[in-house]
Amino acid sequence: MFTSRKKISKDKGAEPTEFEESVGQALFDLENTNHELKSELKDLYINSAVQIDVSANRKAVLINVPFRLRKTFRKVQ
């Protein structure tokens, strides 16, 4: 059975954070609900995700992806 953990690749022994798991779950849900993007999202995964404060009331999400998957992520973006 596929789960959102398949969308996160960490070094051996490193556990994903709660935020990384939520980003992985969002990718997994998008893959399962959007049939147009399903083929592109099938082989994509992230290395890490961090939430950064941009200003007092705004936040940004920094998602690190493997370099070899960069072109595919940009296509989906």
Q: Tens digits of per-residue pLDDT, 36-73?
A: 888 888 888 999 999 999 998 999 999 999 999 888 88
Confidence of residue 75 (pLDDT cuts 50, 70, 90): confident
62 domain-assigned: yes
On whether residue 40 sits in a domain, the answer given is yes
For residue 27, is it within any domain? Answer: yes
* Mean pLDDT value across the chain: 88
Whether 74 is in a domain gets the answer: no
**Whole domain around residue 11: which residue ranges?**
4-66
User: Does 51 fall in a domain?
Assistant: yes
Give a yes or no: residue 34 inside a domain. Answer: yes
pLDDT, residue 2, reads 62
**For the residues of the chain, what is the DSSP string, one character each?**
---GGGGB---TTPPPPHHHHHHHHHHHHHHHH-TTTHHHHTT--BSEEEEEE-SSS-EEEEEE--GGGHHHHHHH-
Domain count, the chain: 1
Q: Is residue 17 part of a domain?
A: yes
